[in-house]
Amino acid sequence: MIEIQQISKTYNGKNGQVHAVKNVSLTIRKGEIFGMIGYSGAGKSTLLRMLNGLETPTDGEIVIDGVSISKSKASHLRKERQKIGMIFQHFNLLWSRTVLENILFPLEIAGVPKKQRVDRAKELVRLVGLEGRENAYPSELSGGQKQRVGIARALANEPKVLLCDEATSALDPETTDSILSLLTDINRGLGITIVLITHEMHVIQKICQRVAVMENGEVVELGAVLDVFTNPQQDITKKFVKQIKGSEEFVTELTRDASSNGNTKKLTFTQSHVQQPHISEAVKLFNIEINILNGKIVQTSEGSYGTLLVQMIGKTENIENAVSYLQSQQVEVEVV
């Protein structure tokens, strides 16, 4: 669906050249929700802006649905851009226009006849859950409602791709969740491919199927969200995963206390295994006791995974058998 082929972008800044994006190659699949995460300055916005032709790459090519965005002529690009909607952290609404008028705007630009565009705008108001607020001005709306207008406006011309630039970064956690749910509904219901950039791992965790981690203009890690969460490779990825899993220091402290009694183990569960009662089975089968010292189960759009720090008490042989049993059930067991 989206082919990013050896894309680079270099700016001529005041203090010399800035290599904002360096030789990035990625394929984003049709219908997926793809996340790009990185700290400020990693090059996420530049990459996203190249996807809809707002920036031209210094090198490389971007092909969306078989059409080269990076090499299209201006007139052609304008048409292609209608297939790509975009939403922003600060909404970018027209403040002198009402909700309905904001949504009508891209339809006016696309030359859609009046009756048709009003019908379409009303349908979009319903889709994003803003019925009754059609005549409100942006200044009268909450942050979440403003982003709903942004989403409706971005969907007006029935795009195939929706780009989200830190779309929930200005919102509180509850509103963030409701906007992320709306994006998931749109992805599933309308089959729109979503590409989002963020510096918040819970956004990736909540709705993305795959993630690219960016650092210094490069993609340093790429994979299915569940794989990246359970087995992060790069230091930066480990830091992002920690945002979700909580403080390792706390676990370390608990481990130190517990390990004086021996037999402290870290159990890592992935996907469906989390739901199954492996621990109580191990207790029953091998006549041991298991104390849970610490743990966290995380839900992702692809399934759940989690880690439990446990202390196993019982005869050494029984503990060894219980460990083998857990391993045979695809639970990773690490001695700490």
- Interface with ligand ATP (CB under 6 A): 11, 13, 18, 20, 38, 40-46
Nearest to 73 by CA among 88, 51, 58, 53: 53
Residue 216 CB, shortest distance to ligand ATP, in Å, is 9
CA 318 to CA 267: how far, in whole Å?
17
Residue 11 CB, shortest distance to ligand ATP, in Å, is 3
Residue 129 CB, shortest distance to ligand ATP, in Å, is 28
Nearest to 125 by CA among 146, 152, 156, 165: 152
Q: Which is nearer to ligand ATP, 153 or 165 (CB)?
A: 165
CA 125 to chain centre: 25
- Is the Cα torsion angle 191, 192, 197, 198 positive or negative in sign? negative
Q: Which is nearer to ligand ATP, 50 or 290 (CB)?
A: 50
Q: Which is nearer to ligand ATP, 170 or 333 (CB)?
A: 170
Structure tokens at 300: 């992702």
Q: Which is nearer to ligand ATP, 70 or 311 (CB)?
A: 70
- Which residue matches tokens 């695809």? 330
Give ∠ CA 175-178-182 in degrees, rounded to 5: 140
Q: Which is nearer to ligand ATP, 18 or 220 (CB)?
A: 18
Nearest to 229 by CA among 296, 329, 309: 296
Q: Which is nearer to ligand ATP, 26 or 130 (CB)?
A: 26
Residue 84 CB, shortest distance to ligand ATP, in Å, is 18
Q: Which is nearer to ligand ATP, 41 or 129 (CB)?
A: 41
Residue 142 CB, shortest distance to ligand ATP, in Å, is 23
CA 134 to CA 121: how far, in whole Å?
9
- 3-state SS, residue 288: coil
Asked whether the beta carbons of 89 and 169 are under 8 A apart, the reply is yes
Q: DSSP characters for 58-93? A: SEEEEEETTEESTT--HHHHHHHHTTEEEEETT---
Residue 18 CB, shortest distance to ligand ATP, in Å, is 4
Q: Which is nearer to ligand ATP, 20 or 267 (CB)?
A: 20
Asked whether the beta carbons of 46 and 21 are under 8 A apart, the reply is yes
Structure tokens at 234: 């790069």
Residue 7 CB, shortest distance to ligand ATP, in Å, is 12
- Is the Cα torsion angle 44, 50, 54, 59 positive or negative in sign? positive
Residue 41 CB, shortest distance to ligand ATP, in Å, is 4
